[in-house]
Structure formats: C-alpha cells, structure tokens
C-alpha cells in the first residue's frame, strides 16, 4: 500500500528551472566556459556534482567546487526573490496529507535552497513531514541516495513510496532506489525523456485536478 509521497522541488513544486539554467550559464561564462542554454537544461535535475562532469568531463575537484559555489551565489543573489510556486503546489501537498500520506521533499538542491523553498517560496513546513537535500547525501540525482534517504526518513519501504518529479534524473534516481515515479512536464522535458514514469501530467495543478484517477488515489484500495 502506498504510504509516502516524495516530492522533487525545482521544476515540480517551484518554477525555478530557467533561473537555475541562467545561474549556471553565468557561472560558466565567468569561468571561461560557454554553453548553450539548451545544453544546460538537458542536465537540470542533477546536483552540481553530477551536472558539471556531464558538461565538463575533464573538470577537477577544485574547479567543481568553485563552479558549484558560483552557481549557488548567483542563484541566491539574482533569483531567490523571483521564485514562485507552481499553481496547485500547496494544495497538492495538503491533499496528500489529508489522504493520509507521509509527505517528504527530496531535492538535489543545497540545504539552504531547500529551506528557502520550504519556508519562503512554498510556505509548506506545516504540511511536510521530512525533507532531504544534496547536503544529506554523498551523491545527488541521478544517484538514488536522495530518494533512499527520503524513504528512510518516511519510514517506508521503496514499494510503499511514490516520487513526483519533472526530470529524467528524478525517474532514474527513483528507479535505482526501487521507487516508482509520476512525472510532470513543468520542468520542460519531453514525454519521451520522462518515459520511465508510470504516469505523466502537465503539472501539479493537473495532478491535483485528476487526483482520484491518478496513481496517488486510494480509491482502489478502499473498494
């Protein structure tokens, strides 16, 4: 029986993917690297530890840390105050709580970013049972660590949890953890890139609207 819903944040609950892309682009430019925004978008959903080697295969540990720090500072300086939740984000978390699920936020973002999203952007600390970030694990998405940790914090087995995410890396990480994923298109990825999900919705508002016909429904369990 489904007991916990593990939510990705960026691109799923918060409209932030484009801002992350711009922050990465500026960080790269300052370091002497040029990438098209579309190239960066293809890696969005990964933490810096996995995004950077994908774009710069020969990057060393020192430059990795420097670029991660630059991205974080640029994102905080220019975009923290421009972030907004997607319509229906809080309401979907509330519906999950009302249905009896344990609600966990599971993000590849830093702990500071996650707390900002939790308190200042979404304002959902009262609806969230647990949360985990890149700071809690050794390897970010698409490694399974974040979802493994999230399920452990929720005190559920992998088959008792469901991930809601917007990127192929959410699906890959969840699959490696033995957890199914419901995909949302709000992060800008195509359906074929989200094909590992058991269902795909436009965004959390559509998932909320179709809750009783979605994998989140407990209607079948009650029959």
Say if residue 89 is in the same domain as residue 169. yes
Residues 77 and 148 in one domain: no
Are 77 and 89 in the same domain? no
The domain boundary residue, chosen from 82, 107, 123:
82
Same domain, 73 and 88: no
For the chain, the domain total comes to 2
Is 105 found in the same domain as 91? Answer: yes
Domain interval for residue 159: 4-15+84-222
Of 117, 19, 122, 119, give the one whose Cα is nearest residue 71.
Answer: 19
Residues 69 and 108 in one domain: no
Question: DSSP letters along the chain, please?
Answer: ---EEEE--BTTTB--HHHHHHHHHHHHHHTT----HHHHHTTBTB-HHHHHHHH-TT--HHHHHHHHHHHHHHHHHHHGGG--BPTTHHHHHHHHHHHT-EEEEE-SS-HHHHHHIIIIIS--GGG-SEEE-GGGSSS-TTSSHHHHHHHHHHT--GGGEEEEESSHHHHHHHHHTT-EEEEEGGGS--GGGGTTSSEEESSHHHHHHTGGGSTT--HHHH-
Q: Please indicate, yes or no, whether residues 74 and 144 belong to a single structural domain of this protein.
A: no
Same domain, 22 and 119: no
The CATH number of whichever domain residue 77 belongs to comes to 1.10.150
Per-residue pLDDT of the chain (223 residues; tens, 9 = 90+): 999 999 999 999 999 999 999 999 999 999 999 999 999 999 999 989 999 999 999 999 999 999 999 999 999 999 999 999 999 999 999 999 999 999 999 988 888 889 999 999 999 999 999 999 888 898 999 999 999 999 999 999 999 999 999 999 999 999 999 999 999 999 999 999 999 999 999 999 999 999 999 999 975 454 3
Are residues 46 and 8 both part of a single domain? no
Same domain, 28 and 123: no
pTM of the shown model? 0.94
């Amino acid at each position: 029986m489904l007991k916990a819903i593990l939510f990705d944040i960026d691109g799923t609950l918060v409209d932030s993917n484009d801002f992350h892309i711009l922050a990465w682009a500026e960080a790269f430019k300052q370091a002497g690297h040029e990438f098209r925004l579309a190239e960066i978008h293809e890696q969005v959903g990964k933490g810096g530890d996995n995004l950077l080697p994908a774009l710069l295969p020969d990057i060393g540990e020192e430059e990795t840390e420097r670029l991660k720090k630059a991205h974080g500072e640029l994102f905080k300086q220019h975009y923290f105050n421009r972030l907004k939740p997607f319509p229906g984000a809080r309401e979907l978390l509330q519906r999950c709580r009302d249905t009896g699920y344990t609600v966990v936020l599971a993000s590849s973002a830093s702990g500071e970013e996650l707390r900002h999203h939790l308190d200042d952007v979404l304002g959902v600390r009262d609806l969230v049972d647990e949360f985990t970030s890149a700071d809690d694990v050794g390897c970010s998405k698409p490694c399974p660590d974040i979802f493994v940790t999230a399920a452990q914090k929720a005190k559920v087995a992998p088959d008792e949890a469901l991930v809601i995410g917007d990127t192929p890396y959410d699906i890959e990480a969840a699959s490696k953890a033995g957890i199914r994923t419901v995909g949302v298109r709000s992060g800008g990825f195509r359906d074929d890139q989200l094909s590992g999900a058991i269902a795909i919705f436009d965004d959390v508002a559509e998932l909320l609207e179709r809750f009783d016909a979605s994998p989140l429904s407990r209607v079948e369990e009650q029959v």
